[in-house]
Every structure is written in C-alpha cells, then in structure tokens.
Amino acid sequence: MSAHRLPATLFGTVVIVLGVAVVVASRQIKTGFTYDVVGPAMFSNLIGIGLVLSGAASVISARRASLDDLPDQPKLNLWPVALISAALLLEAALISRLGWIPVVATMFVAGTYAFGDRRILSNAVIGLVLATLILLVFTLGLGIDLPLGPLEPLFQHNQ
C-alpha cells in the first residue's frame, strides 16, 4: 500500500471497527415488549451499520485512489483544535465551581476566537445570552438542573 492511501485506509478501518463495536454493544440493550417492532437497540444498530458502511466506502475509495486524484493537501492548522480542546478541559474542570453561565460563555468566546472572530466583547455578550437561555430552558422547561456556581442564590425558589 502506498503512503498516500494509508491515512484514509486507516481512518476507514477505524470507522468500521467502531461500527462493529456499536452493533455488538447494542446487542446488550434490553429489548422492550415482544411486540415492539422498534426497540431501543434499533437506532444504535442503524448507527453501527451506517458506520460500517461509511468506513467500507472510505477504505474502498482510498484503495482506488491514484496519486493524480489527490488534491494538494493544505497546511494543517492545529491552533483552533488546541484552543477549543483547552477550553473544553477548563470547562470540565471549572463548571462546578463557576457555574454554567460563565463557563459556557467563555467556551463560546474561545470557539469564536479559535475560528477567527476577534470581536471578544460582542461574542462574550452573545455567549452570556445563549448560556442564560439554555440554562433557563433546561432548568425551567425540562427540569434538569445545570450547575449554577456562585449564581445559585439568584435561581433558588421557595419549595
């Protein structure tokens, strides 16, 4: 196998293995009633089968590719990936202490900055508004409590 085909072939193989793992894991899901046509495992089976088919298509495409078919590869820019990864790690570490709103707003600003938007103040305001709306929808609408951190006294209600 030539080196230009190796990354796509490896990617396709990993996707196939992941798809098989999803199908095998879905066999462990308990089924509903015997008359249920659509059980809880059906969607995970569909996802697993889709992954296997996608991986197979990727491997076949990689095997058929010639050097003439390959476009010039652009230079890989890892800056956005590194910045968003760092923001996700900080979010996981700080969300219980600082709460949903400031952490998600900061994550929003980091994401926009990583992809080239340098309007930090306006993105912070947008992030605060979106984080607050999401918090309200989850807390009031769905009854799911998100971590509030120091803002918890503002959201306490009499029980």
Residue 159's pLDDT is what? 42
- Whether 51 and 85 map to the same domain: the answer is no
Neighbour-count burial of 90, counting CB atoms closer than 10 A to its CB (0-12 exposed, 13-18 middle, 19+ buried): middle
Predicted confidence at residue 34, as pLDDT, reads: 60
Q: Does any domain span residue 72?
A: no
Predicted structure pTM score: 0.52
Structural domains in the chain (count): 2
The SS3 assignment for 51 reads helix
Domain-terminating residue out of 39, 64, 89: 64
Taking the C-alpha atoms of residue 54 and residue 17, their distance in angstroms, rounded to an integer, is 11
**Segment (H or E) for 14:** helix 6-26
**Composition of the chain by helix, strand, coil, percent to 5:** 70, 0, 30
Same domain, 91 and 35: no
My answer on whether 86 and 49 are in the same domain is no
One domain for residues 93 and 58: no
Q: Are both 56 and 113 inside the same structural domain?
A: no
Statement to judge: residues 31 and 88 lie in one domain:
no
Full domain range(s) for residue 31: 6-64
Q: Quick one: 85 and 129 in the same domain? A: yes
Q: Are 119 and 109 in contact (CB under 8 A)?
A: no
Which of 64, 87, 105 is the last residue in one of the domains? 64
Domain contains 71: no
Q: Do 13 and 43 have their domain in common?
A: yes
Per-residue pLDDT of the chain (159 residues; tens, 9 = 90+): 555 677 788 888 999 999 999 888 888 877 666 655 666 677 888 889 999 999 999 889 888 876 555 566 667 677 888 888 888 888 888 888 888 888 989 999 998 998 888 989 999 999 999 998 988 888 777 777 788 888 777 766 544
